Every structure is written in structure tokens, then in C-alpha cells.
Copies of this chain bind each other. A is one copy, B any other.
Amino acid sequence: MKKSIRVFSPASVSNVGPGFDLMGFALNGIGDEIEVSLSNKSGIKITKITGDNGKLPYDTEKNTATVAIKSLLAKHKIKVGLEVKISKKMGIGSGLGSSAASAVAGVAAVNELLELNLTRYQLLEHAIEGEMIASGALHADNIAPCLFGGFVLVRGYNPIDIIQIDYPKNLFCTIVYPQIEIKTCEARKILDKKIDLKNAVAQAGNAAGLITGLLTKDFSLISRSIVDWIAEPKRASLIPCYHEVREAALQNGALNCNITGSGPSMFAFSNSKLRAEAIGIAMKKAASKKRLESKIYISKINDKGPVVLK
């Protein structure tokens, strides 16, 4: 048995327009790295957190990674001493599934380190437990793509039903991450608890349309279907550059553009890497006109999920 293991777990785009609490996909290049080591001392201890600007708690009851790990160990009645090091390689409160990446990396690392051979479905519930600490609500639209990789539809929550959706291989995603922070739990509070019937119908139509566009590789349908009647109308106001950045993406050939998760990051789809890069430059420029610094990421959909690092 190994004494220590390092796992990288990807950032993810959730909501994806019409898929509030239902859809998400994993990204390449950004995410969380977690190292879990066997320890002689009983219990779990976080020994190091880097890249978080001091924002994340060392309290293992409050950190998403260790909450997820503890849930896993409790369920399987495993008593072991562990040390956890967390290296954030992405922003916190970015809308890119930071807490999901931590929770997934944690359980994936423990699964590997202790050679538990648990399936992704078995890891899922514990990662969700961790995520709930951060967001205050049960939702799996970051956890599921982060853990399973690819584009995921969470059809329902009772029981949780994860559907992996095939997608066009030349679908590129541009992310703009304005350097402000939005807390998921705050962004949930501003949503209406009840919505108009006609908006609910429109949301379901676009959700079904987006999935159809992905499965049939119909870029025009993907473009038409990325409309959100639930979250975007409320949350756009939390992102000072939202409309300008979205317009810049569309003007530069994006299939469409919307908020990822609860923001402030925004995603734009396009059908080539060159296009995705041009869109990124335009989005960053539009954000800077509103005096917002931003980071740009270009990524295909990541179909791997968490990976063990050498």
C-alpha cells in the first residue's frame, strides 16, 4: 500500500444556461490538487493549504475536502489516520466548482490511497456531503461532472441519477473569470422560490434542446438552447461586466455565453480553438472596460474527471 497519493480534480462549469442544478461539464487545466498521506496519529488533519489566500478553513468539519473524506470513512467504517494537503489551482467563489473540486479530489485520493475500489457512484454521495458545507444546498451539477468527467445531466436527486451526455468533440469553451468573488449561498438567496409556469416550460424546453443539440452535434441548436429563465435574470446583476462581456463573446462568434454556476465566471461555447481564443481576448477586453481584471481559460470538455498524479 502507498503511504501518500496526490490527485488532481478539475474545475467545472455548471448550469450551462438552461441546466440550473441539472447540468455541468468538467474543464481542463484548472482545478484542485490534494495530497493525502497515511499518518500514525488517529483522525484527519489538514496540514497545509496553498493557493487560497488564507480563505479556506483548516477545521476538518468545515473544509469541503475533509467533510467529504470523513463521510466516506464513516460510511465504510474505516478508522485511519490521515494528513491532507490542499493546493488550490483555481479561484474560490469563482463559479467554477471550487468546492466540488476539493470534495472530489479528497474522496478520489482516499479511494486510491486505501485501495477501496469504490465506484464513482459510491464516491458521489460523500463528495456531495462536502459540497453542501460550502454551498448550503444539495446540488450535484459541479460534483457530478468533476467526478465522472465529460458533460453530465443530473436527471433527478431522489435517488440521484447521473447521465453522461455525448457531445461534439470540437466543442470549445472559453472561460472569463472576473476577479471578484460571489458566494454560492448568497447567489442562491436572491433566486425566487416560485417561478412563472411559462418560464418553467421555457426552461425545460431549452434544457431538452441543449441536450438534443449536444447528442446530435447540432451547433445551431446548442446555440439557441443556451437561455436561462431561472438564475441568469437574477444573477447577471451580481457581475458588473456581464452584459458587455456576453455581447463581446457573441460578436466574436461564440455559439452562446452565460454565467457558470453562480458566477462571476462566464463561459462561451465555440467550435474551434482559434475562435475560442479570439473570444477570450474580446471577453477580457470587455471586462477591463468595466475596470474588472479577469483571467481567461480555454478548454475542451474534460472527459477524465479526477486523475492520480505521479
Contact = CB atoms under 8 A, between A and B. Distances in A.
Interface string A79-116: 00000000000000000000000000000000000000
A156 B202 contact: yes
A155 B201 contact: no
Given A202-B156, A207-B205, A197 B194 contact: yes
27 contacts: A19-B204, A21-B201, A22-B204, A22-B208, A23-B208, A153-B205, A153-B208, A154-B205, A155-B206, A155-B221, A155-B224, A156-B202, A165-B212, A193-B196, A194-B195, A194-B196, A195-B195, A197-B230, A200-B204, A201-B230, A203-B204, A204-B204, A204-B208, A208-B211, A211-B211, A211-B212, A215-B215
How many identical chains are in the complex?
Answer: 2
A229 to B, nearest CB: 9
Interface in A139-160: 153-156
A200 B202 contact: no
A117 interface: no
Report, as a range, how many residues of chain A touch the other chain.
Answer: 35 or more
B201 A197 contact: no
Contacts of A199: 200
A209 interface: yes
Contact of A212 (B21, B153, B197, B204): B153
Given A209-B156, A224-B155, A204 B18 contact: yes
Most chain-B CB neighbours within 10 Å: which of A153, A161, A192, A200?
A200
